[in-house]
Structures are given as structure tokens and as C-alpha cells.
Amino acid sequence: MSASPEPTTEADGAETEAAAQAAGRPLRLAVVGISEPGPCGVRDHGRLLAEELEREGLQCSRHWMERDRPSLRGALAEARAWGAALPARLAGEHADAVVVHYSCFASGHRGVPVFSHPLARALRRAGLPVVAIMHELTYPFGPDGARGLMWATTQRLALFELVRAIDAAVVTTDDRRDWLAGRRWLPRRPVAFAPVFSNLPPPSGQPREPRPRPVVGQFGYHYDGSAEFVLQALRALVDQAPPARAPELRLIGSPGPDSRAGRAWRERAGELGISEHIAFTGLLDPQALSDELAAAELLVFPDPPGPSSRKGTLAASLASGTPILALDGPLTWDELREADALRIVPRDGAALAREIAAMLHDPAARAELGARGRRFAAGSMGVARTAAAVRELLTGLVGQTRASRGG
């Protein structure tokens, strides 16, 4: 690897927005981020947002570190080399500003964000305006004992350094915006809100395969307290329906039947005597995943915080056009309630069973609810909303010096 380049300056780096317009070229954005090996929602989010910004007339170049070294020493060397080279690459692209995608876990090794320092240092040295898309801020204090304490502490230290290096941020929930504003130990930055959008392609529209039983799907599953509500509801539905028409619960996508979560679901289903009514799709490619969501009669969303604006699984489920029953929670998003984009159910297995049975017996209600969900996903939870937030934050930043931006 070559030696680290000298720090760039505004004169060495981006032209002003006025100069870009005078030259008849679009504003140039550098899209930056770090991914874990394998499928990565942060990387997909960055790609889709860049494509939307390009449709709106901006020009985007990608400068993404996709980690491929499993050891800590190798991954650190990889991150340091990438970060050292990044300022010169941005200068070579004549970038006007940076949009960086940050997740405390994607930037970490076993939860410790050791790669965030090379990232923050590179952003400071580049000298360009930076808007950060903050996917995950920090782990909370309290859960997981000593390991959780280590994650919470180190991720806050990393967040402080990152916020120093940026000029503005986009967060995916209102409470995160309030959290950032309320932390006296963090530098003050403008913060906008934009919900997570779906990373999946639209359903292909292929006809559904005939199925002997109605399918209730769940996308994004772990084994926690919410699993018990869903399985108790399934047990009640099996008791109520003729054996041939009792619904099947289909757990869609990752982590799969042989994962720790999958084994826990299967074990509990066996204890309740409903093993034959639970199925797994296993890992699917994006189009197959989208089509599987669209093929279900109904989707359940039992996430403990409730249906919130930070969940890509919820955005994809809404975009599928399949009606959704969601268990209520402390972070249930008010916009969803107001739009009636899904049906919110108390956190009770019997209540969930009643709602599932009612929806399965009312095709018209399912179609109407699914259509409202699809409209909500396209309008209020689409990529255009995030692109608008980024563009608004960039207004007035591009062309300023680091000192005048308050860096």
C-alpha cells in the first residue's frame, strides 16, 4: 500500500455548487460506507439511494469498503489502507460532497466499531461537506451484561468521532433524532428524519401457485417474546379450523430453519403440536423474496418495539401489497396509525388469532388493506423521501469551507 496522501483542502477538492452549475455538470456526490461480508442491507440502501439521486440529476460515485478479511488484524489493515486512500480518491473524482452510510455494527468486529476511526479520519481529511445516513447509532446500555456494556461504550466513543467528522445526519426514527439532539457530549449537527425504504425489487406479478392451506407469512424473524404470541395464535387457529384448511405459518428469508432462531421456532412449534403448520423458505434471492411476500394471504409483523420506521423488513412487507397485522409496541410509528396502512393488534396471542381468522375470511378487506400498505410504502416510506432529506441538508453546505460549516 502507498503512503497516506497529504490532507486535501477545499481548493484541492470540490468545486462550489455555483461552479458546477456554470460548468453545466451535475453536483457530484461520493457515496461512502463499510459493509460486513455477505448480504448487507446498509450497502443495498446506499446503492438504491445513489440510483435515486442520479435519477434526480446528481452524479454519484461509489467508494465502498466491502470487508473480506475474517481476522481482526487483517480487517484493520484493510480498513486503514482504504481510509488512507479515500481522500485522494474523492479529490480525483472532483466530488462536491460525501454521503456516508454508517452502522455501528457494520463498522465493527464482533460489535466493537474498530473500523469507524479510519472512516471518520478519512472524512475529516477530505475536507468536503458530509451528510451521514445513520442506520444504527449505538447499542443501549443494559442488555447482554458485560458484552452489551462493551458494545454500548465503544460505540458511543465511535459515534462521537464520527459526528465530529460530518456536517449533517439523516436518521430513520423520530426518537433517534431526539436522542442525538439530547446528548450533550455530541457535537451539534442538523438532523433530518427519513424512514427506511425497501431494498427489494417489486413483485414480479407471476400468478400464485395453488396452495392447500392459506399462508400467513412473517418476514424477519428471531426467537424472542413475540414468537410466543405468533405460535399461540397459530395453535388457536389450528384448533378452530378443519385440519385441511388450518393456516400455515411461513417464516420467510433469513436466518433459515437450521439457524439458532429457526431451531427455537421449530422446537416450540413441536411442543405446541403444530409442527406440520410451520414452514421455512430459507435464504432467497431478492426477487424470490419479494415474490414470496406477495404470495402470502397475510403477513404478521410481531417486532417487540412495534412497527417502526427503522425496519426494512416492514418497508418491504408493505411494498409487497400483502395486508399486514402488526403487534403494537412502544415505538409504533404514528404515521402508520394515521394512514391505516396496516392493522395494529394488541400483544396477545388470542387477539392476533381473532384478527388473522377475520382477515382470512374477508378477501375484500385483505385487498383494501394491502393496497393502502402499498401506497404508504411508495409515498411515505419510499427512497424519494430519503433523497429529498439528503438534498435539503446539502443545500448551503456545498462550497463552504470546513471552518464556515462549523466543523
Q: Which cell goes with 296? A: 402470502
Quick: pLDDT tens for 275-285.
999 999 999 99
Residue 177: the pLDDT is 94
For 146, 188, 212, 312, the CA distances from 141, given in Å and listed in that order, are: 10, 22, 47, 24
Please give the pLDDT value at position 403. 59
Whether 112 shows a pLDDT value over 50: the answer reads yes
Q: Mean pLDDT, to the nearest integer, of 15-39?
A: 72
Q: Which residue(s) pair with 300 in the sheet?
A: 325
CATH class of 17-197+384-394: alpha beta
pLDDT tier at 398 (50, 70, 90 boundaries)?
confident
Report d(CA 148, CA 156) in Å as an integer.
12
> Which pLDDT score, from 0 to 100, does residue 298 have?
97
pLDDT tens digits, residue range 176-228? 999 999 999 999 999 999 999 999 999 998 877 777 889 999 998 888 889 99
Provide the pairing of β-strand 343-345 with 278-282: unpaired
The x, y and z cell numbers of residue 135, run together, are: 442506520
Q: Which of 301, 308, 315 lies closest to 334, judged by CA?
A: 308
Residue 190: asked if its preceding bond is cis (omega within 30°), the reply is: no
Give the residue, 37 or 214, on which the prediction is more confident. Answer: 214
| Strands, sheet with 191-193, edge to edge from the N-terminal-most edge strand | 59-66, 28-35, 97-103, 130-136, 168-171, 191-193
Confidence of residue 50 (pLDDT cuts 50, 70, 90): very high
Residue 23's pLDDT band, with cuts at 50, 70 and 90, is low
Average pLDDT over residues 110-117: 91
pLDDT of residue 209: 74
B/e letters for 62-94, b = 16+ CB within 10 Å, e = fewer, are ebbbebeeeeeeebbebbbebbbbbbbbbbebe
The helix/strand/coil state of 292 is helix
Residue 142: per-residue pLDDT: 87
Helix (H) or strand (E) holding 345: strand 343-345
Q: Is the pLDDT of residue 394 over 70?
A: yes
Of the candidate ranges 54-58, 244-248, 363-367, 383-387, the one whose mean pLDDT is the lowest: 244-248
Alpha helices in 274-348 (DSSP H): 286-295, 312-319, 334-339
Mean pLDDT of the chain: 90
pLDDT band at 169 (very low <50, low <70, confident <90, very high): very high
Q: Is residue 96 within 8 Å of 13, Cβ to Cβ?
A: no
Report percent pLDDT > 70 for the chain.
91
d(CA 311, CA 172): 9
pLDDT for residue 205: 85
What is the CB neighbour count within 10 angstroms for residue 393? 23
**Least confident span in 68-72, 75-79, 153-157, 195-199:** 68-72
Q: What is the pLDDT of residues 233-288, one digit of tens each?
A: 999 999 998 776 889 999 999 999 999 999 999 999 999 999 999 999 999 999 99
Q: Do 323 and 359 form a contact (C-beta atoms < 8 A)?
A: yes
pLDDT > 80? residue 399: no
Q: What is the CA radius of gyration of the chain?
A: 23
Q: What is the mean pLDDT of residues 82-94?
A: 95
Query: Domain locations in the chain?
Result: 17-197+384-394, 215-381
Give the per-residue pLDDT at 405. Answer: 64
pLDDT value of position 386? 97
Whole-number Å distance between alpha carbons of 307 and 326:
6
Q: When comparing pLDDT for 225 and 327, which is higher?
A: 327
Question: For residue 323, is pLDDT > 50?
Answer: yes
User: Is residue 305 over pLDDT 50?
Assistant: yes
At 127 the pLDDT is: 94
Q: Return the pLDDT at 14.
A: 39
Residue 372 has pLDDT above 60, yes or no: yes
Mean predicted confidence (pLDDT) in 9-31? 59
Give me the pLDDT at residue 207, please. 77
The pTM (predicted TM-score) of the whole model is 0.87
Identical fold between 17-197+384-394 and 215-381: yes
Decide the pairing of beta strands 130-136 and 215-219.
Answer: unpaired
What nine digits make up the cell of 330? Answer: 412502544
How many Å separate Cα 327 from the centre of its chain?
20
Give the CATH fold of the 215-381 domain.
Answer: Rossmann fold (3.40.50)
* 221 closest CA partner among 300, 285, 315: 300
